[in-house]
Amino acid sequence: MKTVALDSMLFIYLFESDPRYIALVDPIFEQLEQGKLHGVTSMVTPLEILAKPKLTYEPENLAIFTQFFTKTPHLEVVPMSWEIVLIAAQIRRTYSSIKTPDSLQLATAQVKKTDIFITHDKKILNLNSFPVKIVPLENYK
């Protein structure tokens, strides 16, 4: 089974049913549920999703999103470890344009030895010589 690292924005597009990207992210999450893919994301992803201010007024979505991260088959939400922190710090030193949350995502992908990292973030897409293959969302098949 192919292991893919998923950037936070893929979850945002899914949860918000963003009309520009939903047709691109739906198949990825369907493949996870069907067991055709193993997905990996950093614990940063639920933090970013669950911190959205509008969830204060949508407590039902807070529960739905939490359940998604804890119950979706073949989705692994990886907690931070010292290994991930040290690699993320190295990424920040090497690539000054990469912010901490993104460095943690990339370090998680590296530690979990994923086949690819799927993102729509132009700063990440422009990285050179990263150990994990970075794939633009629109090019993932």
* Structural domain harbouring 71: 2-139
Q: What is the pLDDT of residues 78-102, one digit of tens each?
A: 999 999 999 999 999 999 999 999 9
Residue with tokens 């050179």: 128
Residue 141 has pLDDT above 90, yes or no: no
Let me know: does 44 contact 10? Beta carbons within 8 Å. Answer: no
Let me know: does 40 contact 7? Beta carbons within 8 Å. Answer: no
Both structure tokens of 96: 């000054």
Phi, psi of 61 (to 5 degrees): -70, -35
Q: What is the CATH number of the domain that holds 113?
A: 3.40.50.1010
pLDDT at 15: 93
d(CA 61, CA 78): 22
Q: What is the pLDDT of residues 44-85, one digit of tens each?
A: 999 999 998 777 788 888 899 999 999 999 999 999 999 999
Q: What is the pLDDT of residues 97-136, one digit of tens each?
A: 999 999 999 999 999 999 999 999 999 998 888 999 999 9
How many folded domains does the chain comprise?
1
pLDDT at 30: 96
Q: What is the pLDDT of residues 9-43, one digit of tens each?
A: 999 999 999 999 999 999 999 999 999 999 999 99
pLDDT at 139: 93
